[in-house]
Chain A
């Protein structure tokens, strides 16, 4: 299988997420990505894009999140680019998942799930943009 790519532009509006996820799922299905890999890609995109839309912007203006997928033999790479304020999700504190139910923290679970699901993650700030690369090897 040769390298194939998909680019999707997402507005900072939760209502646009299902359309983006549908495009990604269709792309991955057409390239015979295993179900578990497609699911992890869905999880990563849902959690990270939700975070960007919810916390990334200091104004109420329309913004665009650029999503780039690169499918190679046994490897899927997902790159997210946004023009929100600087935020490195890889430096966020891990939630304490050993605490009793009543003391469980509310935040941090989504990023934790993405960190645990990906083979590798890399963050950089470049030209005023957050760039997050997530890699799935299989």
Chain B
């Protein structure tokens, strides 16, 4: 599991995750991920295109970060998940709170919505 910071801009954060977001993967990135998202109090865009698996634990992490950002009028936005992961996110019914988009431009629009 790997977390890469694409851009830590003044008004948003753009990250990319890669690998398996299973219990081991979430444990490896949780502190760093929360630090770059919830702790910055700014909209956070997370590219999931290279994530190959997502567990309920990872979805709970996303919900926890989204709750924290919502308290600061900011949003967590997920970018470009693979189809199997998209389906798991759909079954979790989180899209109303955590938009899923196809690219950074769409993420920038969604965080203003």
Contacts and interface: CB of A to CB of B under 8 A. Distances in A.
Is this pair of chains taken from one and the same complex? Answer: yes
Interface of A: 14-15, 17-18, 21, 35-36, 39, 42-43, 46-47, 50, 97-98, 100-102, 104, 106, 109-110, 112-113, 116-117
B104 interface: no
Contacts of A110: 55-57
A117 B70 CA distance: 30
Nearest to A102: B67
The A interface, classified by DSSP as helix, strand, loop or mixed, is: helix
A134 B67 CA distance: 33
Contacts of A21: 20, 22
Given A101-B63, A102-B70, A113 B24 contact: no
Given A18-B24, A98-B93, A102-B67, A50 B57 contact: yes
> Interface size bucket, B side?
20 to 34
Given A17-B23, A17-B24, A117-B91, A109 B56 contact: yes
Nearest to B25: A18
Contacts of B87: 36
A23 B60 CA distance: 27
A17 B57 CA distance: 14
A102 B68 CA distance: 9
Contacts of B84: 35-36, 39
B92 A109 contact: yes
Contacts of A106: 60
Contacts of A15: 24
